[in-house]
Homo-oligomer: A and B are copies of this chain.
Amino acid sequence: MAGSVSAMARPLVLVVEDEAALATMLRYNLEKQGFRVEEAADGQEALTRLAERAPDLVLLDWMLPGVSGIEVCRQIRRRNATRDVPVIMVTARTEDQDAVRGLNTGADDYITKPFSMDTLLARMRALLRRANTVPVKGQLSFHDLTMDLASHRVQRNGRMLHLGPTEFRLLEFFMQHPRRVFAREELLDAVWGPDIHVEPRTVDVHIRRLRKAINGDGEVDVVRTVRAAGYALDTEMH
């Protein structure tokens, strides 16, 4: 846990900053700490990004060309009623008054330029920990298969399936790349990991186990064997 972002997988941070140099520095440092970073150079772009995808935290410059930071903050509060996205306001040192107003406007914290990266990171962690709005991991589906990453559940036609850890990861990978054929080596690389070395035939065995687990009585086999090439998640037709 030391240094890197804790429980949450890789929190998405939206950096709204018009100074390119500062934005670049932030991206560099944040990514080094395990955050995913999205940038917006002005308020308008920030709102667009927000509409596309809700980040886990927003780093918002107070002074922005066009739509002001405070206005962006209001929009965030208004729109995202479902999830409370923490906002950190970034202000120039002299504007203590404004910063205070910013907080009362809806920001959760503020930090004055210049700031140390350590301080910023500590604030961010504190907010994320508190918000603890663990981003809902995805739901995957293919044909009549459904996989829920958060609850680690897989169903076919509503029927609950039981997969071992390896079969789960294997199917997860397949569902992320439906219909595509993967060689055994590719599967070993992606599912087992690049440093594990096991016999390629091991894949066959797990494919077999996966088939047994997901193909119920009278259901079509959704795992396709491509001779001399590999396997794919696919139905026979199509």
Contact = CB atoms under 8 A, between A and B. Distances in A.
A132 B180 CA distance: 14
19 contacts: A1-B189, A7-B185, A7-B186, A99-B119, A99-B122, A103-B122, A103-B125, A104-B125, A108-B126, A108-B129, A109-B109, A132-B190, A134-B177, A134-B180, A150-B180, A151-B180, A151-B181, A151-B234, A165-B228
B130 A130 contact: yes
Interface residues of A, number: 53
A7 B190 contact: yes
Contact of A84 (B7, B86, B130, B186): B130
Contacts of A126: 103, 107-109
Query: Copy number in this complex?
Result: 2
Contacts of A100: 118-119, 121-122
